[in-house]
Amino acid sequence: MKPILVLVAVTALITAGRAQDTSFPPVWEQIPGPDCAPVPQWNATAKPKTCSRAEIAGWLEDIRHWRTEHLIRMGYDGSEYERPDLKWTQSSFIQPQMMVHDRYFYDPVAQRYTVDRYLDDLFSRYGGIDSVLVWHTYPNLGIDSRNQYDLFRDLPGGIAGVRQMVADFHRRGVRVFFPVMVWDQGTHNEGVSDFDAIARELASVDADGVNGDTQEGMPAAFRKAADQTGHPLAMEPEAPLAADEMLAYDNLTWGYWTYSFVPSVSRYKWLESRHMVNMCNRWAHDHLDDLQHAFFNGVGFESWENIWGIWNQITARDAEALRRIATIERAYSRLLVSPEWEPHTPTEFFGVFASKFPGKDRTLWTVVNRNHYPVAGRQLLVPYRADVRYFDVWRGRELSPQHEGEQAALEFDVEADGYGAVLETSAPGDATLATLLTTMRTLSQTPLSSFSPDWKTLPQQMVPTEPTSTSSQTPEGMVKIPEADFNFRVNGIEIEGMNDEGVDVQYPWEPSARRYHQHRIHVRSFWIDKYPVTNAEFKSFLDATHYRPGDDHNFLKDWKSGTYPANWEQKPVTWVSLDDARAYAKWRGKRLPHEWEWQYAAQGDDERTFPWGNDWSAERVPKPDTGREMAPAGEVTAHPNGASPFGVMDLVGNVWQWTDEYIDQHTRAAVVRGGSHYQPQGSRWYFPQAYKLSEHGKYLLMAPSLDRSGAIGFRCVMEADLQKR
């Protein structure tokens, strides 16, 4: 989610940056680069110029002084970065946030995690990853009272299954993070602190790190709790640190940056060169800025594509750039943590920027070309040394320095909006270098400009629903809805995604998924259940068929010994998956309604806001349940004055109701209608309610064990006799 940045933290960070003597005070996570050579503007009074070496040296001296003094002010202790069990964080360059609902990650038919399939896809497209944030909570969290830890335990296979899944990632050399949501204080009370709960949870599955969702730094209590379990965890807050002191025990952070032509310097890496930043710009369709700033700073990238079930695939050009960047960073990760790092080391061309990472017998320069045109020729001037060799590692070839007195000029080409990397070495025999040169020589034969920068949305399909047989006689408990041309207008209420293409769902008549929908649709006459399916009705199905799903975790969770609790006959059945509901409907000769059928039955032809009219009436729906433990749903007959124009009952405010399923290459989701009585309090991030008939919920699907909910029920429809009105 977007980081929650409070005014107190803003004031603290700005004050901390300006309390010292510096001409380049940090802004959030960024230290501005030299301002001596701005991009020419049409209304500028100054003439265009390039920075002199003296101006760059003055800038570097300024930020070095700031760092020295600031570390003293912090009372900084970098011992956490020396721990052998956490040093892997210093080379965790590429990390996606991965939804457990991604179809490449889990196969619900085979009921198994498919880690290899997931990783093979990433390797083929952009060279693979170093760590992964496995995400199982938001945006579904809060649809019922299961908390974040309950949802973890409800993942397929339970704790044992998750532990094996983590082991599968480890087998491929990938470290595993899970999130913690300190804002989740409105659902089931876990009974222990979040510090202890997440530490125990992740120790039980041998995970490697915890991501603090929306957190402005992970408090030291998380580090202490993890260490007390004997299973250390890497701490990775999402948001900028509320205080730089947190840098001492938060080994990783995400980078939410603003981008300028002159690359900024990472505040946290500048203070602690071993700190890993993963640049995150998840909604962007073009990652040039993120990738260039990451490479310039020698840090990592958050390769997040499945964003709450909304697919935002990295373009072919960015993916190939990412492959090459990561290949170089992994090869020389030890140089990239050099405390002698020199950002904005002088270059020869305007718009070409380089960072210098010195080591004992090797030095690496990372280079980015911010110009939209290629630059070739003398790029770097270095002190002349007869005992060293230079390599253009981006292109996989050795360089021949041009000796110019006490200096040597390094000449190489950099593509428009491109990258470069140079290695200086006096080390004898370097197997890493030999392998890297071979790899990069092969890759660079195809310029990045050959790869498409075009972004495309991922098409969705509605899962087909087989029509039922027709009936001209009134089926028991059903209401006939007349044939009509219906103005179907509905909006997805996802918290995030703005109005981007790909948000929400794609109806059969639409060219792509989008949040706002309007379509005049011809609806044939159909029968719809007057009430949602009740516990008593579902029990008759079980008695007749002995139905039992293959994945039966949470199936009818609130029943005991094969039956519902006393006096629950007329309550809607819940804790049934989409497939469970379909099985019942098929047994009854019915099907689940298409969403527009559900809405037409609820709304009639006057586009009313609620089934009973346009004005809200709290007496026509169950009283909202705002406790931390969800109470049972109300009886389906409890609010007869909430009927629709056609006499259909209990449409909103009791339980969500399954309708259509949508699927794309990476995600499955169901549209649920009507909202429910359960409304956890204290956070805007919980699954949003949709009482209005112009709104629907999108519920991500993974496996029945996780999908079933005490707040989702269903009703059925069947085709009417099409010869009669």
**pLDDT tens track for 322-375:** 999 999 999 999 999 999 999 999 999 999 999 999 999 999 999 999 999 999
Structure tokens at 213: 């969702």
Q: What is the mean pLDDT of residues 664-690?
A: 98
pLDDT at 724 over 70: no
**With 80 as the cut, is the pLDDT of residue 13 above it?**
no
Residue 443 predicted with pLDDT over 80: yes
Scanning the structure block, which residue is given the tokens 């929306």? 214
Full-model pTM: 0.95
Tell me the average pLDDT across 291-308: 98
User: At CB < 8 A and 24+ separation, what contacts does 429-432 make?
Assistant: 430/362, 432/331, 432/332
Residue 47's pLDDT band, with cuts at 50, 70 and 90, is confident
Task: State residue 16's pLDDT score.
Answer: 47
Query: Which CATH number goes with the domain that contains 96?
Result: 3.20.20.80
Is 250 within a domain? yes
The verdict on residue 690 lying in a domain is: yes
Tell me the mean pLDDT in the region 577-603: 98
Read off the pLDDT band of 616 (50, 70, 90).
Answer: very high
Say if residues 28 and 12 touch (Cβ distance below 8 Å).
no
On whether residue 162 sits in a domain, the answer given is yes
| Domain-embedded: residue 678 | yes
For the chain, how many structural domains are there in total? 2
Domain that holds residue 568: 527-719
HEC states along 416-452?
A: CCCEEEEEEECCCCCHHHHHHHHHHHHHHCCCHHHCC
* Structure confidence at residue 37 (pLDDT): 82
State yes or no: pLDDT of 2 exceeds 90: no
User: Where is 322: in which H helix or E strand?
Assistant: helix 316-331
CATH number reported for the structural domain that contains residue 671 in this entry: 3.90.1580.10
Chain length of the chain: 725
19: confidence class by pLDDT, cuts 50, 70, 90: low
On whether residue 341 sits in a domain, the answer given is: no
- What distance in Å separates the CA atoms of residue 219 and residue 241, rounded to the nearest whole number? 10
Mean pLDDT over each residue of the chain, to the nearest integer: 95
Among 139-153, 298-312, 458-472, 534-548, the range scoring the smallest mean pLDDT is: 458-472
Which one of 333, 356, 384 terminates a domain? 333
pLDDT at 9: 44
642 inside domain: yes
How far apart are alpha carbons 720 and 528 in whole angstroms?
10
d(CA 242, CA 250): 12
Average pLDDT, stretch 507-524? 97
Report the pLDDT value the prediction gives residue 378, as an integer from 0 to 100: 96
End residue of a domain, out of 294, 317, 333: 333
Give the tokens for residue 300.
């990592």
> pLDDT value at position 43?
83
Q: Is residue 612 part of a domain?
A: yes
Mean pLDDT of 224-232: 97
87 within some domain: yes
Residue that is last in its domain, among 291, 308, 333: 333
